[in-house]
Structure 1
Amino acid sequence: MGAENALYTILVEKIKQDALVLPTLPEVALEVREAADDPEVNLGRMSDIIAQDPALSLGMLKVANSVVFGRSIKVDSVAQAVTRIGLRQIKSIATAMAVEQMFISKNAVISEYMQKSWRKTVDVATVAIALMTLYLQKNKHAAFTLDTITLAALVHNIGVLPILVEAESHPDVFANPAFLQQAIIKFSNEIGGEVTKAWDFSEEFTEVVVSWNDLTLLPKEVHYLDFIRAGAIYHGIFKSETTRDILLKSYVTKGILPDIDYMASEEFIELLAQVRTMFD
């Protein structure tokens, strides 16, 4: 079995046998999610849980101080950040901020792939969050939330993780980056869907992960998929100009974009830079 077929065959068999090792959320994210589901939890208890993890604490402060929450007064403590974000949204936001901790590897080559994948994910997420922020400003009663798009955008490509972890056990495939990329394209959506199910995420997250780049699925009404796909357009992930034009025109019709060229405007670029501070 050549290197070009090894990983592909292994992935196919493990998927068939339900034997692929799926990543688990960081412990602090699990604690936050469990606490958020407790009707007796309060802001103080949630702050204590988050404060145990320095990286998550910093992430929550960045989110609370971001343009997403539209506040000019900075918060400088986890307790203040949790209060500003609110218990209703904290579950998704904390999970989203903890996801980055999973994109690490002791193998230098795999680590590079993971970091590249995470940067691309953040690029897409930044656009999605910025557009959702604008959309909700104009549609205050819409059935969408910023915490949901933040988490959905940061896990939309989570399926690459199990593939890269599996590849780490088979260093012969590293010599062929194009093949590894093919495996990611072929399997990441399906595997990502299984990851969201294993994490007990709601069906809307699974739908986003499985379908975000399946352009045969075009929701007639505004959908979380639209915002993530807009991010993919902005960063050149969708290569077809015709596809990009069709999608952008539909986003203008849906009220997601003011006009087809809006994402090239100074106003939007400035907003992107402000949203990006959540991740830098």
Structure 2
Amino acid sequence: MQIPNAWSVFNQLATPYQKRPGYAVEVLRSLDKRLAHTRGTARIADIGSGTGIFTRQIAEHVTNAFAIYGIEPSIGMRDVACKQDSAKPIEYLSGSGEAIPLPYRSLDCVTAANSAHRFNRPIFFKQTSNLLRSGGVLLILDNLPSPNLSSFHDRYLSFQEEHVSSYKRGMNSDGFGGYFFMDICSELVRSGLYFDVTKYNWEHEHSLDASSFSELANSSSVNLKVIEAIGQTQFDRAVSEIFRENVSLSGRVTMNYRTEAVFARLAVGTRVGQP
């Protein structure tokens, strides 16, 4: 399939993307409880699965998961994902938030981890409402900067803000060069397709050595704009300096995240239109 423009950038970011953090384990425990009624037969699709960071967490922590699909438009990201070990088998498929290649009413859960901001979300909500079984679970989550940042993480975000004037910490990319603060709860309520829309926040840390931080920094689409502004050499030098100024005696730095998770259930009897 043709890769939507909002995703094409990730072909070049696929390899360093693996250094990004996973998500707070509490979100996976909460998801597992919501799928208890399936008694270990849950079919789950992770949309915009990237290199499979959250998809593999589902495989490891969601005991009720039976079949797991990773839907990703970028072939570079899928190639990296397929090479990673997983606690349960994962089938990676070409697709996007607007074109999910799975049958009508075939899923118990749809997830989107750090990806929904690049979707055409009204279309995505309609797509998922057709794919989910009645009462099925939709989970949209993101890793955002914690309100309680380490001095290192604060300095790194300030560096991004200094060089990309339209970006502020906590914003999401729209996939076309702009940034915005996403309010998934309000969007889901307005869609009229889902009920029991609930948001949770869980704090967690991500520890990195110099090499891992450099790769993480080079996986950021925001930093692609920084590199356009100051060049790769100056960017690498600045990132190294930020690390050196804040590194601990153990040779590592800490980034502080808040996993923001929005759960919703498909309203009983919802039918937008069977394909």
Instruction: Give the TM-score taking structure 1 as reference length.
Output: 0.30
Query: Which one has the bigger helix percentage?
Result: 1
Query: Which one has the bigger strand percentage?
Result: 2
Instruction: Give the TM-score taking structure 2 as reference length.
Output: 0.31
